[in-house]
Copies of this chain bind each other. A is one copy, B any other.
């Protein structure tokens, strides 16, 4: 494993670009440079020493179902204990339930490091985190008092149970039933599939959050309620007691994330408790979506980062061919392949994506903090708009970059031993779960663009304009303008044209808008990464001018940024062309022609 945590880059983004300790977000004032450095380097130590060594072995061994018990791969129990004991599971959980109460931002910054080291492993804690958030937001006081402390402590884990064999995306078709019992609890009956971490051996208890229908439920998504169903019913002391009637009856054999158990869960009259209001389960689910989806976008970025680091290490070591201008390693039989322009192109593409994506995710996390901790409605609107973009753009592009990293070593990339292909297989799921990337595009175009009269998308456009206006004036630096601000301006114009097309066609001819949803999402993703790069360039340029910081780091930052602006950002024009092509050829074939 060649991964080492991007500590310098995280510090640059958090402190030089975002200046978090000066941000007016509750809790950010405590995050000075030393504090975040201490947290992130500790996370990096755990990731490289404990989690990374289990990445390949966990993939090879996978999970095993024996009877109704799932065994995680060797080493996972100890690693989970190390994470729990270090307090990492509860970094941003509420202090009243035993958490550390830090901003969500820090959960994301450490999360990238943990996911890069071992994506399948980190899902166990990620899902618990989501369940804690849901329960905290929607559960009543009794449920919270009983379940949150052991979940926050990591002694109990959490899951989300949505999908059934006949319905994944279309949750309105759910058949799992919840019947009221005399004691105010419910009896849950049905089958749920693709339940990540539905059963495992890492914790004393597993708390399932389950979508089901009450007897009087209206049809469709307006008749779905959310229930809490523990694997073991807590006894009077709050310890795991009687076994509940929920059982893992199968594990999926998957392309990747083998070390994470993907379970078929059978509920046979299992005892459960209503979370939030009856029939309002979808709303309860949706309120956690921003965090969960940002977490998946983070996976796309993190795995691409790990694959990139692996490719760089290979490209330094492998000797094949000679540099175009003559031997770079004249005493060796050949030069390291890092000298070849096409290898460099792939490495720079990956680097520009990973660094830009990192800034994007951290910006997104700060918007969540600003909205939740600061009650800022503009931030809430903006992150609501950007969530599908973060999720789908970063996972589509992250997968593509993992594939490119696999290409760097040539033949070795296809062998399991070299470790590249696992990144590709693992990264693939992030494009699918937590709502497929097609669903994200639909969410963006169908819901988010028009939300609040279009204010959020206007806020994004204004954010871009403000940055350009501030730095592109006559006093502005020519290199900054040509390398960053002008390309960003052009891309933003493409975005506005795309948004305009959607607004016009959305009403008149919905299929025109829907056929272009994927392209609009990618167009916006590029603009957001362009915005991140422009921000980073402004900062790097200023620091260089002032003689602050590591000059080599800052110069590399500017080169990498220009690479993105010159070679990737111009994709906005192609996406706009596709959007404007509308839905005619997409929809024209009769069904029987397929």
Chain A residues within 8 Å of B, Cβ to Cβ = 163, 166-170, 173, 193-194, 252-256, 312, 315-316, 319-321, 324-325, 333-334, 336, 338, 340-348, 351, 399, 403, 406-407, 410-411, 413-417, 421, 424-425, 428-429, 431-433, 436-438, 441-442, 510-511, 514-515, 517-518, 552, 556, 559-560, 562-563, 566-567, 570-571, 573-574, 577-578, 581, 583-591, 593-594
In the complex the two chains form, is B591's CB within 8 Å of A321's CB?
A: no
A163 touching B411, Cβ below 8 Å: yes
Q: When the two chains form their complex, are residues B563 and A170 in contact, meaning their CB atoms are under 8 A apart? A: no
Task: Report the Cα distance A334→B166, complex, angstroms.
Answer: 11
Q: Can you list 28 A-B contacts with CB-CB less than 8 angstroms, sorted by A residue number?
A: A168-B320, A168-B410, A173-B320, A173-B333, A252-B414, A253-B415, A253-B417, A254-B415, A312-B594, A315-B594, A325-B511, A338-B591, A340-B514, A342-B438, A342-B518, A344-B515, A345-B515, A399-B403, A407-B432, A407-B437, A411-B432, A421-B428, A552-B590, A559-B585, A559-B588, A563-B586, A566-B577, A570-B574
Q: How many angstroms between the C-alpha atoms of A517 and B344 in the bound complex?
A: 12
Q: Is the CB of A342 within 8 A of B442?
A: yes
How many Å from the CB of A62 to the closest CB on chain B? Answer: 12
Establish whether residues A254 and B414, one from each chain, have CB atoms under 8 Å apart when the complex forms: yes
In the complex, the answer to whether B556 meets A407 with C-beta atoms within 8 Å is no
Contact partners of A587 in chain B: CB under 8 A? 341, 344
- Known pairs A321-B169, A589-B348; A583 contacts B341 (CB<8 A): yes
Among B173, B255, B411, the residue within 8 A (CB) of A414 is B255
| Given A255-B414, A571-B574, A341-B593 contact (CB < 8 Å) | no
- Does B410 lie within 8 Å of A169, measured CB to CB? yes
Contact between B413 and A432, CB atoms less than 8 A apart: yes
Contact A431 B407 (CB under 8 A): yes
Query: Is A414 a contact of B324 with CB atoms below 8 Å?
Result: no
Query: What copy number does this chain have within its complex?
Result: 2
A514 touches B414 (CB 8 A): no
Shortest distance from the beta carbon of A315 to any chain B beta carbon, whole Å: 8
Known: A342-B442, A342-B518. A585 touches B556 (CB 8 A): no
Q: How far is the CA of A428 from the CA of B422 in the complex (A)?
A: 13
A429-B416 Cα distance, complex, nearest whole Å: 13
Assembled-state Cα–Cα distance A591/B315 (Å): 10
Q: Is the CB of A585 within 8 A of B563?
A: yes
CA distance A571 to B414 in the complex (A): 28
Q: In this complex, what residue of B is CB-closest to A167?
A: B320
* A224 CB to nearest chain B CB (Å): 15
Cα(A530)–Cα(B541), bound, Å: 44
Question: Which of B414, B510, B556 lies in contact with A428, CB distance below 8 A?
Answer: B414
A552 to B590, CA, bound (A): 9
Q: A321-B170, A347-B594, A591-B316 are in contact. Are A433 and B411 (CB under 8 A)?
A: yes
Chain B residue nearest in CB terms to A311: B594
Distance, CA A254 to CA B573, complexed state (A): 38
Chain B residues with CB below 8 A from A560, complex form: 585, 589
Cα A593 to Cα B348 in complex, Å, equals: 11
Q: Which residues of B contact A517 (CB under 8 A)?
A: 341-342
List of B residues within 8 angstroms of A168 by Cβ: 320, 410-411
- Kindly provide the distance from the CB of A509 to the nearest chain B CB, expressed in whole angstroms: 9
Residue in B338, B428, B562 whose CB lies within 8 Å of A594: B338
Assembled-state Cα–Cα distance A42/B351 (Å): 50
Q: Report the separation of the CA atoms of residues A425 and B416 in the bound assembly, to the nearest whole angstrom.
A: 12
A-B residue pairs, 9 tightest by C-beta: A563-B585, A341-B514, A255-B421, A170-B320, A342-B438, A566-B581, A341-B515, A556-B593, A253-B416
A510 to B428, CA, bound (A): 36
Name the B residues within 8 Å of A421 (CB-CB).
254-255, 428
What residues on B are CB-neighbors of A334 within 8 Å?
170, 173
Residue among A312, A316, A514 with most chain B CB within 10 A: A514
- Distance between A138 CB and nearest chain B CB, rounded to angstroms: 25
Nearest B-chain residue to A438, judged by Cβ: B342
Distance from A169 Cβ to chain B, minimum over Cβ atoms (Å): 5
CA distance A351 to B594 in the complex (A): 9
Please, which residues of chain B bring their CB within 8 A of the CB of A411? 163, 168, 193-194, 432-433
- Complex Cα gap A336–B407 (Å): 37
- Asked whether, in the complex, the Cβ of B415 is within 8 Å of the Cβ of A252, the reply is yes
Chain B's closest residue to A574 (CB) is B574
Chain B residues within 8 Å of A593, by CB: 552, 556
Min distance, Cβ A34 to any Cβ of chain B, angstroms: 26
